[in-house]
Amino acid sequence: MKQLKNPLPRLKKAFAGLFDRASGYVRGVGRQTDEILAGEPIDFSAPSIPYYENLAARLGFARVVLYMVLLVFVVVTVISNHRLITYENLYYLAKDIGAASQTAKAQADSLSYPISSKGSDFALYRGGLVISGGEVVTAMSASGRQTLSVNVAYADPCVRASDKFCLSFGRGEKSFSVYNAFVQVHTETTDYPVYDAAVGDNGNFAIVTRSRDYKSEVLLYDGNMEKLANYHLNGYVTGISMNQAGDRLGVVSAEAENGVWVTKVTVIRIGNRISQSTATVTGALGSTCGFISDDRLAVILTDRVMVVNSDATVTGEQLFEGTTPTLAAVGRGSVAILFESGSDLSTSILTVYDRNAREAYSMTLDAAHPITKAGRPTELELAEDALFLRAGNSLFRVTNNGDRIASADVSHDTLAVLPEGGDTVMVCTPAYAYRLNADDFIRS
């Protein structure tokens, strides 16, 4: 079979020629204008003005040239990306545009979804909500309309979401799936169980699994579901996070060496060239991690909170003294940790750290504190300028560096609290989710 020649070089040459000709005509118009203005004044009373007739002809020709340039650009784009252009992609793109418009509509106060007999996991998605249950994955728009429903069979359902995709898997099961607002766009069966995942707004995502020779393996994919890299780790991955832009991936892994915990914090930089850097902490077990900015990763260990930059260089660190972290949350620009006091088990300490791991403020929750009276804290979340702490049947909103505490009653079967911002929070139950605004909280 005769091999077809690549048309791209000829098209690029034609494009360059058209651009040079268009540039020449634009320069010619400028020279003509200078010559006319330097000569005799234009007689606007004449029935015909040659200057403007010539100028109109030149501009008309320039318009034709621009149309031709546009045509060449479209042809080159189609040829370069022909493998990605399919009927299904165009169909899903058209539907996805409609889904994106849902975020601009008025938000519903309540969103109803199927009840799962095996528990559910929740994530905010495009102004709405995605729910991964044991039997079905459901996406709800901001207006409360169900846009996606896919049957699954998860024993321990999990979901992660970004602005572009949401990803579901069953923890400890050998598969994962990626969805947009309307349909499943990718599914894959892995050789070993999936334990965690992270997704970025540009469509990049990472899967935590293991391999035959390593305790952990991280699979990195781009927005076209193409695998970019595999990372093998000797330790167990205890935390993974991708920044909002999707060009940084943070991985925390831990292993025992001579009876001592060794935690490794790896930051992977994703671009035309993928690179990584690692920081090592000996004598501490790492757990939760998250990006407090696009280039700073916060890591909570058993004895400290630590912030590293894109090169895994430690930019801030704060040791814990006489306390044990029980709950932690990483938000945009800050980290919140709830500690148990070593001397008094009835007293907790809530501390918020800034992007450099410096203490911003701290609150002592003794037996007389309203939060302690409500019950044992079970969930901690951070928003832009507010902190949410759930205890018993109450949800507390902490603002003004801890000086203002307000509360709202929540259902006893609440499964998750998802802040949409400092003023709005989504409260998820087994059958429905509802929004609480700042006005719904009463000052304690």
**Alpha-carbon dihedral sign for residues 225, 229, 232, 233:** negative
Could you report the per-residue pLDDT of 84-131, keeping only the tens digit for each?
666 556 655 555 555 555 444 557 788 999 999 888 999 999 989 999
Please tell me the distance from the alpha carbon of residue 309 to that of residue 293, in angstroms, as a whole number.
9
**Alpha-carbon dihedral sign for residues 366, 368, 371, 377:** positive
Residue listed under structure tokens 């990006």? 291
Q: What is the DSSP letter of 20?
A: H
For residue 426, give both structure tokens: 């989504």
Please tell me the distance from the alpha carbon of residue 406 to that of residue 424, in angstroms, as a whole number.
13
- Of 431, 442, 413, the C-alpha closest to 138 is 431
For residue 74, the model assigns a pLDDT of 79
Q: What is the DSSP string of 113-147?
A: ----TT-EEEEEETTEEEEEESSEEEEE-TTS-EE
> Rounded to 5 degrees, what are φ and ψ at 293?
-155, 175
CA neighbours within 13 Å on the CB side: how many for 170? 20
For residue 342, give both structure tokens: 């070593």
Beta partners for 368? Answer: none
For residue 75, the model assigns a pLDDT of 79
Low-confidence ranges of the chain (pLDDT < 50): 1-4, 102-104
Q: What is the DSSP letter of 283?
A: S
Stated length of the chain: 444
Residue listed under structure tokens 């200078």? 34
Helix, strand or coil for residue 372? helix
Measured between alpha carbons, how far apart are the two ends of the chain, in Å? 80
Beta-sheet pairing, 404-409 with 394-399: antiparallel
Cβ-based neighbours of 412, under 8 Å, separated by 6 or more: 393
- Tell me the CA distances in angstroms from 174 to 22, 179, 411, one per residue in order: 57, 17, 34
Helix, strand or coil for residue 23? helix
Please tell me the distance from the alpha carbon of residue 234 to that of residue 213, in angstroms, as a whole number.
9
pTM of the model: 0.77
Please tell me the distance from the alpha carbon of residue 157 to that of residue 115, in angstroms, as a whole number.
13
For residue 36, give both structure tokens: 């006319």
Please tell me the distance from the alpha carbon of residue 159 to that of residue 168, in angstroms, as a whole number.
4
For residue 108, the model assigns a pLDDT of 78
Asked if 327 contacts 377 with a C-beta cutoff of 8 angstroms, the reply is: yes
For residue 2, the model assigns a pLDDT of 45
Please tell me the distance from the alpha carbon of residue 158 to that of residue 133, in angstroms, as a whole number.
8
- Tell me the CA distances in angstroms from 379 to 34, 338, 387, 391, 397, one per residue in order: 72, 10, 11, 7, 12
Please tell me the distance from the alpha carbon of residue 389 to that of residue 395, in angstroms, as a whole number.
6
Question: In which region does residue 175 sit, left (phi positive, over 0), alpha (psi from -120 to 50) or beta (all else)?
Answer: beta
Above pLDDT 70, what percent of the chain? Answer: 81
Please tell me the distance from the alpha carbon of residue 132 to that of residue 444, in angstroms, as a whole number.
35
Please tell me the distance from the alpha carbon of residue 195 to that of residue 219, in angstroms, as a whole number.
12
Segment holding 98, helix H or strand E? helix 87-101
Cβ-based neighbours of 87, under 8 Å, separated by 6 or more: none
- Burial class of residue 321 in the structure, from the number of CB atoms within 10 Å of its CB (0-12 exposed, 13-18 middle, 19+ buried): exposed
For residue 89, the model assigns a pLDDT of 60
Question: In which region does residue 92 sit, left (phi positive, over 0), alpha (psi from -120 to 50) or beta (all else)?
Answer: alpha
Could you report the per-residue pLDDT of 150-189, keeping only the tens digit for each?
999 999 999 999 989 999 999 999 999 999 989 999 999 9
